[in-house]
Amino acid sequence: MAELAPAPVHVAPREPLAPEHEHDGFALVVRNLAAGYPGFPPAIEGINLRVPVGELVGLIGPNGAGKSTLFKAMLGLITPIEGEVLAFGRPVAKAREQIAYMPQVEEVDWDFPVSVLDVVLMGRYKKFRPFARWSAEDREAAMAALERVQLAPYARRQVGQLSGGQRRRVLMARAIARGAGLLLLDEPFAGLDAAVQHDLVEILDGLAREGKAILVATHDLSCVANSCDEAICLNRRIIAQGPSADVLTEEVLSQTFQRHLLAVPRHGVIQVINDEHGVMSDGDGGSAEGGR
């Protein structure tokens, strides 16, 4: 095994939560959840987790740990085998207007002939309205979201003409434009360089301070260690959940990643080694795509 060396920290640590922060309000509560796909054993089992109002929570785990399955179950895209998912105290089916979802960038057809503004306006859909026009309020919310992610000048551009980092910002703007209290983001930092990642984290940090609850599935351990209020470690079941500094220990991370990665926090950074291939990593799960 190669010798461990410190990995670079991508983002500055968040300020500690204020003492008066409201911890007893939970935007998302998952109880004893099991989910999977017909003909296969459950992909996740016994899942219990909570995402507090006003917090940025990182969900980490190796490929195949069930992160995507968990997101689909929480969104109601697949029917759980057992258990329940509550958003603001209500079943997900009755709370959809309070939930915004940012998919992985690979799941989007970027060649579709729509503008950046069109994509962001899609976040304003609350219910199906055949032939309905966007209201002035919808357009105002969409443009405000684009301003927030610094893409307002690109509103009329075809979305496929944007760089990788800009495409992430568009998807984030769509989630913001929805005006939801709970944001579920699937791998928003994958393949981005440190500068772009830092910008996106700052946006999420601001949203959390405004009272949004945010759950981010990511491979970037340094981001979770330094920028998330809480961390959830998943490998078909919840290995640990709590304040990032308490959860991201050598024991928990080794149990979470097993043979995939050995991840060890030391001296304020996350050191990661890929046992399978014997290569060093900073925990971002891939090469930098860049593009602001």
Nearest-angstrom CA–CA distance, 49 and 231: 11
C-alpha distances out from residue 36 to 59, 82, 188, 252, Å? 18, 10, 23, 24
CA 269/CA 291 separation, integer angstroms: 25
Fold of domain 26-281:
Rossmann fold (3.40.50)
Quick check: 120 and 134 in contact, CB under 8 A? Answer: no
Q: Which of 267, 277, 204, 178 is nearest to 56 (CA)?
A: 204
Report the C-alpha dihedral over residues 68, 38, 49, 237, rounded to 10 degrees. -90
Q: What is the pLDDT of residues 80-137, one digit of tens each?
A: 999 999 999 999 989 989 999 998 877 788 888 899 999 999 998 875 455 567 889 9
CA distance 263 to 259: 11
Query: Residue 183: helix, strand or coil by DSSP?
Result: strand
List the domain boundaries for the chain: 26-281
Residuewise pLDDT in 10s, the chain (292 residues): 343 333 333 334 445 445 454 445 899 999 999 999 999 999 999 999 999 999 999 999 998 899 999 999 999 999 999 999 999 999 998 998 999 999 887 778 888 889 999 999 999 887 545 556 788 999 999 999 999 999 999 999 999 899 888 888 999 999 999 999 999 999 888 878 888 888 889 999 999 999 999 999 998 888 898 899 999 999 999 999 999 989 998 889 889 988 655 555 555 555 554 444 333 344 333 334 444 4
User: Model-level pTM?
Assistant: 0.81
| Cα 77–Cα 65–Cα 50 angle in degrees, nearest 5 | 65
